[in-house]
Amino acid sequence: MNKMLDDDQIFNISPGRHVDLDHHCQNGGYSALAKALAQGPETSLKEISDAGLRGRGGAAFPTAEKIKMLRANTEKLRYIICNADEGEPGTFKDRFIMTHIPFQLLEGITIAAFMAGASEGYIYVRHEYPEAQKILRESIEEAERRGFLGENILGSGFSLSLKLFSGAGSYLCGEETALISSIEGKKGRPRLKPPYPTQAGLWQKPTLINNVETLANIPKIIEKSASWYRSFGTPDSPGTKLISLSGDVQNRGLFEVPFGMTFAEIISEYGGGAKTGKAIKAVNIGGASGVLIPPEMLFTPLEYLACSKTGITIGSGAIFVLDDTRSILSNVQNRLRFFLHESCGKCTPCREGLRQANLILDRLLAGEAVRQDVSTLERYTRAIQEASFCGLGQAAGNSLRSSLAYYRDEYLASCRDNKPSFIEEETA
Amino acid sequence: MTAIKEVVNRFGKEEALLLQVILAVQDADPQNHLSEEAVNEISREMNISRSRVYSTASFYSEISLKPRGMHIIRICTNAPCENANKASILAAIKQELGIKIGQTTTDGLFSLESVNCLGACYMSPAIKIDDAVYGDLTPEAAVAIIRNLRKEYQNEQNA
Ligand SMILES: Cc1cc2nc3c(=O)[nH]c(=O)nc-3n(C[C@H](O)[C@H](O)[C@H](O)COP(=O)(O)O)c2cc1C
Ligand code: SF4
Ligand code: FES
């Protein structure tokens, strides 16, 4: 990986290479923690704020703003949670961070906890990642033994007790309030926001929840400065993004990509383009909850602002390429079934809407649907996206919506009463 | 049943530890599941109602209330694996084991389950057997892995 960035990358992940504590320290690791502890939380926080770091778990919320909310809270007992649930199909970046550079992550968690004033914390790792759990458990113990975690860290008087918490197979538990319910020993169902976790999170105490990649950025920013960090990426989206690239490309894998590159460049330069003799038909960006876009849109840069203008959700940073042999409809159905399986059933638009949408796709794929069904599917999609209680239902419609917009012909072509395309089609 | 008491004592009795206790109890179970007796025992030991224990346990797909095989084979069903010819792998495994997804072989050696993305899409199609992930699979490779596990078991039995 990292063809475009050489020495100064943020995530030095090479396949098969595990950076142990000694390696981490040799590479300047834990100097950021020492620096943060010496300069104090406000100065460190300003660096993160100047760097413009935004959450990498999907919603892209400014990380420094979140930490400030915790600092504004008068409650003394505060928690930090590292969201390592990584359930988004097509995404494997957090897993690589945990197994390859665990101490960079632990250092990031510790600095974040220091800035937020949190003294207790959890890393919530999905049960499907036993290897990552084992490495993190051992790394936590080792960091404690060496004084980088636990009581009185590096003699600073700051203490953080960090525990690993295993998920048990639920995508929804990646949603922050569901994750909190899960740690509290309950079903992992989402809660109403507000109050946000920063106000009332775990056990109703202020809680900082950040994604693995977000937290692993922090030591590098503190160590090397915000201006160094801003030398990558664009003014709107500084830094780099880990991209999980899969599907019909020559090279699949994890790549650290500076913000600002176009999706077309990412796919050709890192992925080597489509498989020999094939053309790209569609690209799914942001995992199962992301969108399906046609090749014409790949000239959009990987940048939060530019993407939100064109309706692309960067999400977890997964890119999944479909070549011209693939069926859009069966890909959309694959995602629908995933959400249907993971829906907690608490609200009707998500539970029933997804079920009905899936039935329509069944009919479409069996050649039994009529054009009216496509309009109905469009209506359901709007209802699912707009009326669902949590992010699962809201995002579940992305793939439907975008595919209906860009691949409508393929939907219509599957209909039993398909008419020649010059006849005006009916709309909802 | 003292094993459960031991797990609870090791973890602690706080409500927050319920899911971790359930997972540890399931891991220690030879049939990879959470039995009714185990639910009762956890409920007693942790002083949490049985319905709460069930409610938590039944929500998560990695927890099984039904007995399962010694080895659990999980096949990823998400789009990157599906497109990478998951179907042929699944067909080969089903044929080798003579069971469908959700079933256990009569000898109690294998259970077959579906699973969401294993974070191995860069080597799809991928499956997971117990704690190990296998990627870039072919139907032949999948069958070979299963036969090896069966042989290992038979060798252990004969030893
Ligand atoms: C259904 C659903 C699943 C999610 N899964 C994850 C996840 O696996 N990992 C993650 O970091 N964030 C996930 N999120 C986003 C979190 O709710 C939250 O925004 C994030 O952890 C905040 O961290 P960040 O600011 O560092 O991005 C999910 C959200 C939803 C709605
Ligand atoms: S949107 Fe879906 S997952 Fe979220 S609360 Fe409603 S039913 Fe549950
Ligand atoms: S989709 Fe199968 S491992 Fe990710």
* B120 Cα nearest atom in ligand 3: 3
- Cβ B62 vs Cβ A127: under 8 Å: yes
Least confident piece of the model among A186-190, A341-345, B11-15, B28-32: B11-15
Q: Which residues of A touch B60 (CB under 8 A)?
A: 127, 167-170, 188
In angstroms, what separates the C-alpha of A166 from chain B's closest C-alpha? 7
Pick the residue whose CA is nearest to atom 1 on ligand 1. Answer: A392
Which tens digits make up the pLDDT trace of B94-126?
999 999 999 999 999 999 999 999 999 999 999
CB–CB of B121 and A334 under 8 A?
no
Determine whether the shortest distance from the Cβ of B78 to ligand 3 is under 6 A: yes
Q: Which helix (H) or strand (E) holds A362?
A: helix A348-365
Q: A89 and B80 in contact by Cβ < 8 A?
A: yes
Please give, rounded to a whole number of angstroms, the shortest distance from the CA of B158 to a CA of chain A.
30
Ligand 2 atom nearest the C-alpha of A190 is: 5
pTM as predicted = 0.96
B157 vs A375: CA distance, rounded Å: 61
Starting at the edge strand that comes first in sequence, how are the strands of the sheet with A240-247 ordered?
A253-258, A240-247, A318-323, A280-285, A291-293
CB-based contact, A380 to chain B, within 8 Å: no
**A85 Cα to the center of ligand 1, angstroms:** 8
Report the C-alpha gap between A136 and A125 in whole angstroms.
9
In Å, what is the CA distance from A306 to each residue of A293, A296, A297, A302, B114?
14, 15, 11, 7, 37
CA of A196 from ligand 2 middle (Å) equals 17
- Nearest ligand 1 atom to alpha carbon A84: 9
Residues of chain B contacting A335 with CB distance shorter than 8 Å: 79
Q: Does A188 touch chain B (CB under 8 A)?
A: yes
Quick one: pLDDT at residue B12? Answer: 87
Work out the minimum CA distance from B57 to partner chain A, whole angstroms: 8
A402 touches chain B (CB under 8 A): no
- Helix, strand, coil percentages for chain B (3-state, nearest 5): 55, 10, 35
Chain B contact for A86 (CB, 8 A cutoff):
yes
Report which bound ligand comes closest to the CA of A384. Answer: 2
Give the mutation target among A124, A211, A212, A213 for probing the ligand 1 site: most ligand atoms within 8 A of CB: A211
Contact of A345 with chain B, judged by CB distance below 8 Å, is answered with no
DSSP tag of B64:
-
pLDDT tens, position by position, for chain A (428 residues)?
Answer: 444 444 568 998 988 899 999 999 999 999 999 999 999 999 999 999 999 999 999 999 999 999 999 999 999 999 999 999 999 999 999 999 999 999 999 999 999 999 999 999 999 999 999 999 999 999 999 999 999 999 999 999 999 999 999 999 999 999 999 999 999 999 999 999 999 999 999 999 999 999 999 999 999 999 999 999 999 999 999 999 999 999 999 999 999 999 999 999 999 999 999 999 999 999 999 999 999 999 999 999 999 999 999 999 999 999 999 999 999 999 999 999 999 999 999 999 999 999 999 999 999 999 999 999 999 999 999 999 999 999 999 999 999 999 999 999 999 999 998 865 555 555 54
What pLDDT score does A147 carry? Answer: 97
Contact A318, A290 (CB under 8 A): yes
Question: Which of A344, A355, A380 to mutate for ligand 2's pocket (most ligand atoms within 8 Å of CB)?
Answer: A344
ipTM, 2 dp: 0.96
- Asked whether A213 lines ligand 1 (CB < 6 A), one says no
What are B17's two structure tokens? 């530890």
Tokens 């999170």 sit at which residue?
A201
pLDDT of residue B143: 98
Q: What is the pLDDT of residue B137?
A: 97
Give distance in angstroms: CA of A221 to centre of ligand 3.
32
Residue B159: what pLDDT? 84
In this structure, the dihedral spanned by the alpha carbons of residues A18, A21, A27 and A32, taken in order and rounded to 10 degrees, is 130
